[in-house]
Structure 1
Amino acid sequence: MTDQVVAGTGRGVLQDVRRSGFCFSGGGRYAACLARRGHRLAPELWDLTGDGPRARTLRGSGGENPQTALVATDDGRVLLCRPDGGAHRLLLAVPSRDGDAPAEERLLATVGGPALRLIAGPAPGTAALAFEAGADRTTTVWRLSGRDEPPERIAELPVLVNGGIWLDGTGDRLALASGRAGTGGTVVLNLSRGVLTPLDGLAGDEHLLLAAPRPGVLLTAARRDGAYRLGVRRRGDEGPTAFPDRLNAIEGGVTPLALDPAGRRLALAVTRGARSHLLLHDLVEDACREVGLPAGVLYRRAHWGDAGLHLVHSTPDHPPGPITVLRPSRSRAARRLSRPRPARPPVRAYDGPAGDIEAVVYGDPDTARRVVLALHGGPESSWRLGFDPLFRRLAAAGIAVVAPNQRGSTGYGAAHRDAVRGAWGGPDLDDVLHLGRALSAARGPSLERPMLYGPSYGAYLALLAAAARPGLWARAAVVAPFLSGRRLHDDGPPEVRNLIDRLGGREEIDDDLGPRDLLRLAGRMRLPLLIVHGDRDPVIPVSHSRRLRDRLRESGHRDGAGLTYLEVAGAGHDPLSEAGGHLVLDRVVGFLSEGADRRRPPCDRHGPP
């Protein structure tokens, strides 16, 4: 096996494609996902059997939506679970032999219930299992063969279950997560008998993460000494789980991906800053080494079989797609398919008021005709080195992008992440204003002032920056802003209120700017604004943007001149990536590409210029 990295190709792959819902077939011969190009969402099938992953779009009825679940089969078909009103339609999509012809769709069954999910199966005759969650908190399990035949009902479980980790290669024993009393959270479904039993050997607080079926090696997680630790054991062993020291001392955000077929090596995605690293840990030696990948992002989906380790990877220049590493050397052609490394580093460290601030950068912010400072949502989030259609579109339009991970971002340690606890719009706003001044100084008086962009919490932070230093910015485009932590706590959904409580989002900051309430600060925002909000946003009510729009009008903003308000009918929290999102993307890019005032203010004033 070699560390060769083979990236996906595929006929007609467009660079602005968005992909989600990746799933590998049970044997790892194929993968499937949903791909959106423009307004069209369709299944995409990836063939992993050749020298490099190859993609083809399955043109069918065009009835997909983001809730469609799918599983690839090992013979190159795709099983679809398509929501239809209060039911779910299970279909088999058979690709045509002629790559340009539509795929043939065959209805297998219509299943009721509020939720239905699929997991890939490991053996012939079990291409996938479907789990139907009942309103009475029971689960019906169906077997899908991958052929044109109805699913087989194989079990009625008295509890709701999640996850799904195969413990053998025959498709008979499947580990599931359950709240069933006395099981420690992990149970085993015996498909031949349709019964649940506890998974022997695990402690009461221990959870199964991965398994290598042939040798019976299990990877678990449990809380030990105040932190979650990864454990290793063999199925059937009577002794306690081992928690290797070096495995649990790896720095960064660690995500287990897959165990090799022999159960000796563990593939880990480790996030440090904006990028992912692929580490291979030898569980026998408790030793780790890194596999070189182009700077980018690794996703949770992976499959490690005899043909190699299949991962889902994205870079600023490539949408998410399968790559293959640790595969047997096949041909020189495979080497030619290796994804090239970017010509210039895609991240840059800026001096900040409390230490370095890492930023993902598109273009040259010092010389581009325009530059936008893009602020991520969250606050417990970060920009990463994955593909972003908006940033690519802006760079193509001659607009450089600086996307910083200011204080409050994840991936840089607890102190950096927790700096905004009880201080929303405090240390993070200081970082943003510092970066704005640094960008403006580096660009000199002949180039336009920086612009602002942000979604969700980033929208809130961008508007705070626009109010705090209105003379520093040329314009601002925001998506789904909220008015303040206090106001969002009053009318947000329970999960948002819980986050606000946990992070102290209702606490006020006592400084010259005063309470971080956008209604109070609207009169200071003397710059062109674009506000975008989906009218069905389940996270931040659209009423926040409507109230802000009305207050901006009262303070002198005129529609179509200083204020553009775009409420997207039928859209949720991320209208740029949902159906019709390409049109919203056009509006944002168009607004940020419009001519801005090239004149510089004499100084960076606290009030309106």
Structure 2
Amino acid sequence: MVTSHPVAPVPAKLFDDEREQRWRSRFTAVRMSRPSWAEDAPDRTVYVSNATGTFEIHAWDRTTGEHRQVTDRRNGTTSAVLPPDGSQVWWFADTDGDEFGHWVAQPWAAGPGAPTEPAVPGAGDGYPAGLQIGRRRTAIGVSTDDGTTLLVHERGSADEARVVYQHSEDAAVGSLSEDETLLAISHSEHGDSRHPSLRVLDLDTGETVAELHDGPGRGLDALEFSPVAGDQRLLVGHERRGRDELLIWNPATGEVTEILLDLPGELVGGFYPDASALLVAHTHAARTRLFRYDLAGGELTELPTAPGCVGSADIRQDGTVEYSSSSAAVPSQIRALHPDGTDDVLLAPPGERPPGSLPVRDVWADGPGGPVHALVTVATGAASATGDASATDTASATDTTATTAATATAATAATAGGTAAAPAPAVFVLHGGPHAADEDRFDASRATWVEAGFTVVEVNYRGSTGYGSAWRDAIEGRPGLTELADVAAVQDTLVADGTVDPARCAVDGWSWGGYLALLAAGTQPQRWAAAVAGVPVADYVAAYADEMEQLRAFDRALFGGSPDELPDLYRETSPLTYVDAVRVPVLVLAGENDPRCPIRQIDNYLDALAARADHGEPVRYEVSRFDAGHGSLVVSDQLDLIATEVDFVRRALG
């Protein structure tokens, strides 16, 4: 049955001319990822940029200063890597955002549309499951409905890649040793892809060298082999004490050395080029900072990076740390911290920097599973009434003090005379994942909601990363409903302190956040005035049937089994189950080629909403479909989608 659904209009404008230009420029301003380089040709780098209006791969030759576009595809390209000699650019070729395809290679100097060749002969098409490129060997992972296959190809050989591992459960290529004799892989032969084990294979003999398994509920991550030839130590992420930490494992000897750092929060890291130290990224309370840990002396030193939250980082051969950094108020920059302590801008995108926004404040609410952390951006009276963002527009890229002070002043002015201003309407923007977290980083979508006069609330509910293993795993056996209990606790706290108006709260999210938004509309109808769900899980049973195998494995681990094994649990946690309880306007945004939240199960939910009119209980809903996958890499699409969201919620709230 084909049902026609009301299409959400795309507004021509959201604001007056000045604010219209400001919010759009946050999306259209040129953005760039931190460049990655070829190991033996470090002046050859690649990065992702929206400079052409679509996120594509670009190359930067540091010797000549030349920047070139590498790919030009209708729905964009975001995955690229350079082999050690930098002679080629490898990028992942899928079809219109469906994430199913293979790695291709083209010459370093070639531009868009240049002929390509399969980067790994014989690997075949599938979903990516890891890639490591050595000087003489390449290890690649390919996932299909049949499971995961890991292959190794002798570079320069006309022979096809050989299979070194194959299993019906989820697995991935982890790290290749410097001498390219050892390959570390993660696997879930024990049936829990959320907590993988490690295995190290001898690529010369095909034999297993060693296994590392920390038991149920404790995952391991092969981060990086030592970059020094002859040093077979592997840096591993573990959670033996209930949070992400680091250890060094020598698979040849079995020796394990845990890195004990007196830092709250969670840790990830990599080796310095001489393997004498680790670069440690430390995440705590939604902020990430960098440290150097000396392996011989055990000295831990915080690196003097620019204020803000670090996005990603890597170390050049001379010890320079290149990193990206931003905050909610200040757009991202790509910077270089040199061994002498100087810190400067490494690469500035062409054109004007996008306008800044308002800072977030931290809120902790008492939830049913413990304190829940949320980031709140309050739409001040001045900002919501006039759109005057002069304080954020002029904030220094390395100093957010002025922005914070301006926000505090505006908030004080809004309550001048002892009478509290009525709270602005609020949108609870729920992150995807679920294993992810909202952090104090710049986000153009958040800034658009604030520009529109909404207070934005971002909740790091149970299931989020950055707060320990128990918090992340608390949704096992009851996903969806568990997270929404935390969202409700934050909402109650903000209603009680006068930050939000309970009658003017909308719930919004994409991916897992979209799933939560639809589930909230059906299970918490009294809390919300509107619900917006981008690329959501809407009918969990149908989603499981159609999604990529990697996500089916994730769902089996999350739920404790498949829908055939646990039909009642999948039904209890599916938005489709509660469609008749929806009382508020609903907007659904869906990608036609989405392999993660496939279109059929979204259509099932929309058809069920439409059928309510036949029963005399119509509900207002609209849909926006776009020709891409799990989101769009085309800037014009991104502008249309966020404008549609804001316009819908405005109309829903009257």
TM-score, normalised to structure 2, is: 0.66
**Equivalent in the alignment of 2:17:** none
- How far did 1:527 drift? 2.1
Distance 1:131 1:444 in 2: 52
1:591 and 2:651 matched: no
Q: Is the 8 A contact 1:184 1:204 kept in 2?
A: yes
Residue 417 of structure 1 aligns to a residue in which SS? helix
Matched-pair identity in %: 22
Q: Is the 8 A contact 1:407 1:420 kept in 2?
A: yes
Counterpart of 1:243 in structure 2: which amino acid? Answer: T
**Equivalent in the alignment of 2:49:** 35
Counterpart among 220, 232, 236 of residue 221 in structure 1: 236
Residue 464 of structure 1 aligns to a residue in which SS? helix
**Equivalent in the alignment of 2:483:** 428
Counterpart of 1:389 in structure 2: which amino acid? Answer: A
Q: 1:207-235 CA deviation, whole Å, 9 max, x = no partner? A: 67231327947344398979997554899
Residue 352 of structure 1 aligns to a residue in which SS? strand
**Equivalent in the alignment of 2:610:** 553
Q: Is the 8 A contact 1:71 1:118 kept in 2?
A: no
Q: 1:5-46 CA deviation, whole Å, 9 max, x = no partner? A: xxxxxxx99776565695322154453122235742332345
Q: 1:337-370 CA deviation, whole Å, 9 max, x = no partner? A: 9x9xx99763412323334321233343798543
More strand by share: 1
Structure 1 pair 595–423 and aligned structure 2 pair: CA distance change class (3 A) = closer
Structure 1 pair 319–23 and aligned structure 2 pair: CA distance change class (3 A) = farther
Distance 2:367 2:94 in 1: 53
**Equivalent in the alignment of 1:602:** none
More helix by share: 2
| Map 1:51-450 → 2, pairs under 5 A | 58-59=68-69, 62-63=72-73, 69-71=79-81, 79-81=89-91, 83=93, 90-94=105-109, 107=115, 113=122, 114=124, 139-142=152-155, 152-153=156-157, 158-160=162-164, 162=173, 165=176, 167=178, 175-177=182-184, 185-187=200-202, 196=204, 203-205=210-212, 209-213=224-228, 216=231, 218-221=233-236, 230-232=246-248, 241-244=255-258, 246=260, 251-257=264-270, 259-293=271-305, 294-299=307-312, 302-316=314-328, 322-328=334-340, 346-354=360-368, 355-364=370-379, 368=384, 369-443=424-498, 449-450=504-505
Q: Is the 8 A contact 1:422 1:504 kept in 2?
A: yes
**Equivalent in the alignment of 1:568:** 626
- How far did 1:564 drift? 0.9
Structure 1 pair 110–240 and aligned structure 2 pair: CA distance change class (3 A) = closer
Structure 1 pair 23–441 and aligned structure 2 pair: CA distance change class (3 A) = same
Q: Is the 8 A contact 2:329 2:359 kept in 1?
A: no
- How far did 1:483 drift? 3.7
Residue 402 of structure 1 aligns to a residue in which SS? strand
Distance 1:412 1:379 in 2: 13
**Equivalent in the alignment of 1:541:** 598
- How far did 1:88 drift? 6.3
1:24 and 2:33 matched: no
Counterpart of 1:526 in structure 2: which amino acid? Answer: R
Residue 55 of structure 2 aligns to a residue in which SS? strand
Please list every run of 5 or more consecutive structure 2 residues that lacks an aligned counterpart in the other structure: 1-24, 96-100, 166-172, 188-197, 214-221, 385-423
Q: 1:90-144 CA deviation, whole Å, 9 max, x = no partner? A: 323549xxxxxxx6886575665426997677xxxx7x976688999754343xx
Counterpart of 1:159 in structure 2: which amino acid? Answer: V
Q: 1:309-363 CA deviation, whole Å, 9 max, x = no partner? A: 22344544566664322433569999x99x9xx9976341232333432123334
Residue 351 of structure 1 aligns to a residue in which SS? strand
Counterpart of 2:623 in structure 1: which amino acid? Answer: Y
Q: Is the 8 A contact 2:26 2:444 kept in 1?
A: no
Residue 185 of structure 1 aligns to a residue in which SS? strand
**Equivalent in the alignment of 2:580:** 523
- How far did 1:292 drift? 4.4
- How far did 1:537 drift? 2.1
Q: Is the 8 A contact 2:88 2:105 kept in 1?
A: no
Distance 2:651 2:475 in 1: 34
Residue 40 of structure 1 aligns to a residue in which SS? coil
- How far did 1:267 drift? 0.6
Distance 2:576 2:199 in 1: 49
Structure 1 pair 57–526 and aligned structure 2 pair: CA distance change class (3 A) = farther
Structure 1 pair 174–572 and aligned structure 2 pair: CA distance change class (3 A) = same
Distance 1:57 1:94 in 2: 11
Q: 1:265-299 CA deviation, whole Å, 9 max, x = no partner? A: 11112333422232221111223232244332433
**Equivalent in the alignment of 1:504:** 559
Q: 1:130-189 CA deviation, whole Å, 9 max, x = no partner? A: 6688999754343xxxxxxxxx44886643484554637xxxx57544699xx962446x
Please list every run of 5 or more consecutive structure 1 residues that lacks an aligned counterpart in the other structure: 1-11, 96-102, 143-151, 189-195, 598-609
Residue 522 of structure 2 aligns to a residue in which SS? helix
Q: Is the 8 A contact 2:87 2:107 kept in 1?
A: yes
Q: 1:391-438 CA deviation, whole Å, 9 max, x = no partner? A: 232223333311111223222223433333333343422222233344
**Equivalent in the alignment of 1:145:** none
- How far did 1:474 drift? 2.6
Q: Which structure has more RCO (C-alpha within 8 Å, separation ≥ 6)?
A: 2
Distance 2:140 2:474 in 1: 43
Residue 472 of structure 1 aligns to a residue in which SS? coil
Q: Is the 8 A contact 1:480 1:573 kept in 2?
A: yes
Distance 2:556 2:453 in 1: 41
Q: Is the 8 A contact 2:277 2:295 kept in 1?
A: yes
Distance 1:105 1:223 in 2: 43
- How far did 1:549 drift? 1.9
Structure 1 pair 509–414 and aligned structure 2 pair: CA distance change class (3 A) = farther
Distance 1:89 1:157 in 2: 14
Structure 1 pair 239–312 and aligned structure 2 pair: CA distance change class (3 A) = same
Counterpart of 2:525 in structure 1: which amino acid? Answer: P
Residue 474 of structure 2 aligns to a residue in which SS? helix
Counterpart among 512, 536, 549 of residue 481 in structure 1: 536
Q: Is the 8 A contact 1:529 1:562 kept in 2?
A: yes
Counterpart of 1:417 in structure 2: which amino acid? Answer: R
Q: Is the 8 A contact 1:94 1:105 kept in 2?
A: no
Q: Indicate the larger mover: 531-540 or 447-456.
A: 447-456
Q: Is the 8 A contact 1:261 1:304 kept in 2?
A: yes
Counterpart of 1:426 in structure 2: which amino acid? Answer: L
Q: Indicate the larger mover: 368-377 or 132-141.
A: 132-141
1:467 and 2:522 matched: yes
